[in-house]
Structure 1
Amino acid sequence: MKTSIYRPLALTLLATLSLASCKDTDQPDPNRHVLKPRLEEQTAFDQWLGREYTDAYNVQVLYAMQNIESDRSRNLAPAELEKSMKLSQIVLHAWYGAYNEATGGTDFMRGASPRQLSLIGSAMWNGDGTITQGTAEGGLKVTLFQVNWLNENDPVSLNKTFFKVMHHEFSHILHQNKIWPDEYNTISASDYSPTSWYNRRTLADYAPKGFVTAYASSQPREDIAEVTAALITFSDAEWSAIFTAAGEEGKAKLLKKINIIKTYMKNTWKIDMDALRGISLRRLQEIPNLQLIKPEWQPLLRGLSAPRRSAHDHAQERALVWGRLLQDRHFLDLTKDHTPGDTRCQIIPQYTD
């Protein structure tokens, strides 16, 4: 089983540069910008990304997959242009916008967010039956997969596929800047399992130990990242199911963890987690009403030679891939109960940090 890789990086210099005030000029300072001024002609979409991401947050969005920027040991597909356009708008509204609203401005995200956001069209399937849903490299770059399966009309899918991943990875960035309290590590100290966490396949396997997901039980740093993301993205029904399965002892552990996280985020980053959760879930519901393709981008899409595919087409493709995996005797469906001792691999998400 592939385990998460931790690449510690001192971000003091990065934070200092990022939080420094901008010069009062019309053009961004190239010495503080993630990008040098580009000489080649940019498309309308490139220009929008430059204004809304690079100029606003010092973030570069990579939507045209480059070999040097991706894992060359995997078979990955680039993100479709239309899907990249839509997801860029969605992330700006439901992720950056949520933190801006919760913190009262753009300064926090400009200083703390990753310097690069990379979009990959396909899933990254691992040889052990897991899917890597996101990667974070030293707090500088976050990669999102499954962009081509984007369905902007399904807030639940958006939350699970993209936003839980982003909140998880972002919490690692915050923790690398300012470490969480050591007390957190002691709550479930005897139950972490770095090499066999994936054998905890149901709520009954991990919730009684005080974990919100199986992956949370791998190590403390993944535990606190998972609980942080869950606090923002899980519905009331999901939390109710976790607490019910956890029992009295597991629920007590979870409540201790939640209290530590809320206190840490409030005292360290001035963020009220309950307020952020409400804002995030509201903005998620607003996505289907957004105009995700700007009129000036339409010529770029009409010029594509490949036929455009609907969300239904991608949903069918995803179901087909999933179905083929489940037909393999080596894999099992985690949505169903299984005989104890079943040794088949599980299809579950993980991250690489």
Structure 2
Amino acid sequence: MKKIYLYLILLLTVMASCKKEQALNVDITKSNLDTYAKGELDDWLETNFLNPYNMEILYRFDRYQASIDKEIAPVMEDKVRPIMEGVNLVFIKPYLELAGKGFLLPILPKEIALFGSGEYSDDQLTLGTADAGRQINLYVVNSYDKDDVLSVMGTPERPAAFHTMHHEFAHILHQNVPVPPGYEEISSSYVGSAWVGSGNTTATAKSLGFITRYARNNKNEDFAEMIATLLVGGQDQFDAYVNTATSETAIAKLRAKEQVVVDYFRNGHGLDFRNLQAKVRTAIETYAPVTIVPVPTWLSRGSYKGFSVDKNADSQSSAFVTAFNSAIAAASSPQYDSPITPTFELVFANPAVNRTAMILKFTDGTYSYWYNMTATVTTGASGTIKLVRAAPGTTAAYGNGTFLQAAVAPLLDYLTTKTFKVNWIEDVLPGSRSTLLGFFDQSDSKLGFYGRIQR
């Protein structure tokens, strides 16, 4: 069964006012595929793909490896090794490290054919195909540049090579172990080939609980798109997409599909999907550092719903702990008799529409004490977050917050008088990346406090 990515494009025809003809000075006998001499590139491909994986990489132009009714250009030889290094690191190695050769080699595609352009016809551009789990065709290789984030990561409208590889391999997986029954019922608004229509916008697909427009093609494409997006785009990208959906129904559908994928890998193939996901993300960022998105940027995009902070957790700063202890002591005095717990939440009020409005939430186990905050987030590698008190809401939790305001002033002041840089704290607590987010005091660059992110 052939799986195809098709993308509608507008083809412009430019009429020339004159035509100049000259003799074609090319010796076509040197293009005979049967008589070429192996070179350094062939040796490298044989060493890295044919010998270890029984996988042949086809890069010399063979018109019959692609659709003969479409226009296509051959691949430039100097583009072959860069993209195949990426395929090895981003697609093959993560599975190999996780599952081993016994699992992977029998189901790896046996051929990958490379083409310089996409396949063009009158109104279509094909960016990737796969045939019966045996051969995968990768297109648009001539424009590949691992130092260009769009070339490596692609977009939802035009996925790049690594998304295509993981998407097509997902089809191989579900051809061996079928998609779990009932998956198609989570989002049943499939439209077949009409997915390319103007009525199926990205916003429409998202509102219906689909990860991409193409996912509306059918159940199998939906499943493969979920897997490829979670692996290549990564969890932060997926969470930003889900958390910024305005439909609670769509959010529930996307989360349900995510859980099906995780369960499918564990129950169907004995694989830890989260481990695989982490390996793919590390491989992409190692192979192409240009793809690394700073944490403040993910914060501004809505990847995280908020943070849960524990004063008693290891490595919290003394300044933060002192401020918190002062608040606990004051709130526990007879005047208030509200011994707040050593934990609090700092959450976005509604990340779907606003990533500046946040709520600081305390509790004493019985009552809640809320304070509205306005967060100013600057993006980039040195991005920061600055919190400022905002007008309270009208619910009882805000009234409780006003009642306790004087008692918790030391902690409120600590949080609002400083500007914090935000980043992972894996150098402080190894293995905490993508789980614990640190707030570093910009004045001295030292860790102030950290919290567990809420996705």
Specify the TM-score bucket, using the shorter chain as the normaliser.
Answer: 0.5 to 0.7
SS in 2 for 1:255: helix
- Match in the other structure for 2:94: 98
**Deviation (angstroms), 1:125:** 3.0
Rg: which structure is higher? 2
Q: Distance in 2 between matches of 1:156 and 1:239?
A: 20
- Match in the other structure for 1:150: 144
1:161-207 deviation digits (Å, cap 9, x = unpaired): 11111111111111111211111021122x11114222345332111
Equivalence map 1:1-353=2 (5 Å): 42-103=38-99, 105-128=100-123, 130-160=124-154, 161-189=160-188, 191-198=189-196, 199-235=198-234, 236-245=236-245, 247-288=247-288
Give the TM-score, by structure 2 length: 0.52
Percentage of matched positions with identical amino acids: 29
Amino acid at match of 1:277: Q
Give the TM-score, by structure 1 length: 0.67
SS in 1 for 2:245: helix
- Quickly say closer, same or farther: Cα 1:101–1:155, change in 2 above 3 A: farther
- Conserved 8 A contact 2:75-2:142: yes
1:65-89 deviation digits (Å, cap 9, x = unpaired): 2122122111111111110121122
**Which of 1 and 2 has higher RCO (CA within 8 Å, sep 6+)?**
1
- Conserved 8 A contact 1:231-1:273: no
Moved over 6 A (4+): none
Q: Distance in 2 between matches of 1:56 and 1:237?
A: 33
Amino acid at match of 2:57: V
How many residues align? The count is: 253
Q: Distance in 1 between matches of 2:36 and 2:212?
A: 46
- Conserved 8 A contact 1:152-1:288: yes
Amino acid at match of 2:133: G
- Quickly say closer, same or farther: Cα 1:76–1:41, change in 2 above 3 A: closer
- Conserved 8 A contact 2:91-2:162: yes
- Match in the other structure for 2:324: none
- Match in the other structure for 1:16: none
Q: Distance in 1 between matches of 2:2 and 2:62?
A: 22
- Match in the other structure for 1:31: none
- Quickly say closer, same or farther: Cα 1:69–1:204, change in 2 above 3 A: closer
Question: Unpaired runs of 5+ in structure 2?
Answer: 5-33, 155-159, 290-455
Q: Distance in 1 between matches of 2:149 and 2:272?
A: 23
**Deviation (angstroms), 1:126:** 4.1
Q: Distance in 1 between matches of 2:39 and 2:107?
A: 28
- Quickly say closer, same or farther: Cα 1:281–1:146, change in 2 above 3 A: same
Amino acid at match of 2:151: S
- Conserved 8 A contact 1:200-1:206: no
Amino acid at match of 1:215: Y
**Deviation (angstroms), 1:5:** 5.3
Amino acid at match of 1:141: Q
SS in 2 for 1:135: strand
Question: Unpaired runs of 5+ in structure 1?
Answer: 8-37, 290-353
Amino acid at match of 1:78: P
| The structure with more strand, counted as a fraction of residues | 2
**Deviation (angstroms), 1:246:** 5.2
- Conserved 8 A contact 1:61-1:116: yes
| The structure with more helix, counted as a fraction of residues | 1
